[in-house]
Structure 1
Amino acid sequence: MDQEMNMKFMQIAMKYLPEAKEMLDQKGIEIDMENLQSVLNLLMQVMGDAYELGKQEAKQ
């Protein structure tokens, strides 16, 4: 995946990260910035997989 797409995914993930943190806070799950980075990386992997799947389906 190219750097430009990675940046777009990062922007999308950052958009939803506060909502994810709020959900965790409401459940009493404390998470620091280092652990949030892990969540952010996971979100980016999910978006990358979804993007690749969409790209494959568009070719069909």
Structure 2
Amino acid sequence: MDQERNMKFMQIAMKHIQEGRAFLDEKGIELDMHDLQPALDMLMQVMNEAYEMGYEEGKNE
């Protein structure tokens, strides 16, 4: 995985972290940063796969 791209993805995720935290709080789900790490890792994988899919589609057009 591209380290620079991952940093950009992390910046995007951090822009929306408060919205995610509010959603979890509303549902009564308590998570600390240690608990969030696996979710962030999965989010990074999803974002990388989406990037690759868009990249391949863009090359084919």
TM-score scaled by structure 2? 0.87
Over the matched positions of the two proteins, sequence identity in percent amounts to 62
Q: Which runs of 4+ in 1 moved over 2 A?
A: none
Q: Tell me how many residue pairs correspond in the alignment.
A: 60
Alignment-mate amino acid for residue 17 of structure 1: I
Between the aligned partners of 1:44 and 1:11, the Cα distance in structure 2 is 11
Secondary structure of the 1:30 match is coil
The CA RMSD over aligned residues, in Å, is 1.0
Q: Quote the residue 1:31 is aligned against.
A: 31
The answer for unaligned runs of 5 or more in structure 1 is none
Alignment of 1:13-52 (within 5 A): 13-52=13-52
Q: Any stretches of 5+ residues in structure 2 without a counterpart?
A: none
Alignment of 1:47-58 (within 5 A): 47-58=47-58
| Structure 1 contact 24–30 (Cα < 8 Å) conserved | yes
